[in-house]
Amino acid sequence: MADERDERDERDETAARDDARDGLRRAWDELVATARRTVADGLVVGTSGNVSVRVGDTVLVTPTGVPYDRLTHDDLVGVGLDGRQVLGSLRPTSELPMHLAVYRVTGARAVVHTHAAHATAVSTLVPELPLIHYMAADLGGPVRVAPYATYGTPELAENMLRALADRTACLLQNHGTIAYGASLNQAYDRTAQLEWMCRVWLLSSSVPGLAPALLSPDQLREAGERLRGYGQKR
């Protein structure tokens, strides 16, 4: 009987390891698809952005300097929350400190960082994206700009966290955007929404002799309350 239990336990452990490995592979496939989408949608040029997703205590992340269309199953890269590499042989993105800072401080399951053109332009002009559209409420409120710091540094991660306080996205001065969510789809959608709002503000601000109408904090708050009930109930 003891031998049968040992065999059964071993089979269960093997099945659990296989399930965990399959889960990581599926998450990696989704991560790669999201990274490729940032390029296809014009949010990233070349390898300038990065994407990550948390699976348990492992963070899967795009590798540094590798075009997304070349990534395969064999290129999976994973790190622990302490930054120690636990999966893969390719080096993780140079922006790993930002990604890990988000996971340590928030309940995020996915992070998307881009160098989107309109958002980057706005980051050089103002300390906060003006309230041009009520979808700012979906990001937690007025989107702040994190002060500039050299990419890949702890200083940049610290500046980002301050800008992200009570927010799910922010701009990085002279750099780009970062957004997080409960899934890769949500993090990507927030990134795209932020880029769109930046584009709208730049367009409306470019008309000579006219200034765009902006929302008040009360109007944004009301929109945020309505957005909480938006969409299909599950």
Point out the residues that are catalytic. Answer: 95
Radius of gyration in angstroms for the set of CA atoms belonging to the chain, rounded to a whole number = 20
Q: Which residues contact 224 (CB under 8 A, 6 or more apart)?
A: 134, 137, 138, 141
Token pair of 197 as six digits:
């709002």
> Is the separation of the CB atoms in 140 and 166 below 8 Å?
yes
